[in-house]
Structure 1
């Protein structure tokens, strides 16, 4: 038995040593020289080779979404690599669909720039910028959700332009429970006309590194760093009737959309189906009253999945898609739907909306884990 343990120990030691030597050689011996990256066939970068594609682009102020800080565990940092990326790595495979692989989609955090490359990224990413800010307000709106308001303090840029429904990526610096920076995406909850502030709704997730930082370490006056805006989930410029659906902190982009409708003095019919567990999990109710006063054709419909008997709840009960099935009428008229929440909620709600006559290409959603 001791011989087996010694053998295992020796093999493990040799493997570890080889890995360290390869890391050392790649970091300090390999010299890839100056490489060129052609982006979207019209923008060329000359950079020092050797870093990951993700970090190389960030160093050039081109910010690709990455919720895991480049560790290859989120799958957000996809881009199209037409040449120069080398073979697809095993670390990428869990995040690449068959269609991704057929269309040269890769994880930019896993590719090292070792040769000239040609890539494609969404044009809107050239508008993403890095911001500094300060916390003006941070309050508990439920026992697990905080409302956070940042004031932009950076000089360049000093304001932010975004579409109602988009998101930012917030950075948490190293702190006792997290030795490294971490990044997470949060939908913007503020009005697009306020270009000096960003509002967020941040729920607490047990063992979540960034949510723990916000809920336990972030205070009024704290400095923050974030990048944005990101995302193709935003209010479309049409006159169609709107169906809004969210649960929990998924309310954030819906708030931004509703503020936008007020600023537009919109007459569009809009119904907001919001799901929560209990009455104590409902929030922003004063804002909903304001929206119902300011928007003549807006209605807020909260639904509780687990109402307590002592709360004397007389509203809708069940999951949010149950309320849609009960209340929303079938129609062939043009309608759009905007959904934000967990994947199971989105999937069940899409089915309910399709059954009510809303076209699949008019259902826009933002899923979060």
Structure 2
């Protein structure tokens, strides 16, 4: 039986803005994928980081490689995306922005274009089935793949921005932060910005990226993923913080992901506190709910427990996330109404 506190967080209407599709695949969906591909000899311990376990960032990226082996056909992508969307909806998420790097596989005939089309098809199917969640998609640039592929990805996103009836809304920059240089990707990111795509960039995920972070902040991005090492207390700089504040760029913060990936020593040392106390726009997110064995309700509960947030403060945090979404103002208004309609008694 769910206790009253758990029920509050589950029923809290939520916005999820930093969810990598393949990292969000649940234990249940992984089981279905493994049964489809027994020849790969993949075990569950290879696809998730369980309770109490921690991994280096490099080991986390090895986990994603394993999941990619399981998801290599249109059929797989359709099932994975549908399951992920329904699970977020069941967790009280009312608005979701999924992100994924388009992949191709010569053995299965999967192309990057078909990859994006299939994710869009899953979003449309869930909507037609009446799943209570509004879903949008960010096409991801993997920084490891260099300049040319980044530009190709932006052109693909541009094409779908115009043809997907508002479902493709932006570009995500992600991938192993220790590989590649953000400077090489600036032309592609600038093109994306110029054509009306929103930018969510993984920034300062690891220490000693001050120069790259400074360059990318000059764009500026519409949102920042993680921003773990931006502020001076952890080796960032005040000038980086000033740029974030000047442009009022919201941060997508993923507590469990950072603790399990060892970029943050423990929950109480998470940079959530720094930005929250500044009153800066922040959005609690999961990053990879499957890989890190969490969900958005748990992340809100962890933040509240760790930093002593009242239920009213949690509600406000959730509600303010609506301001940070990449969908149009009409969608923001509809979401605000949903929050008003479900507001518990005693919360202003």
Q: TM-score, normalised by structure 1?
A: 0.26
Bigger proportion of residues as helix: 2
* Greater RCO (CA < 8 Å, at least 6 residues apart): 2
Structure having the higher strand fraction is: 1
- TM-score, normalised via structure 2 length: 0.27
Q: Larger C-alpha radius of gyration, 1 or 2? A: 1
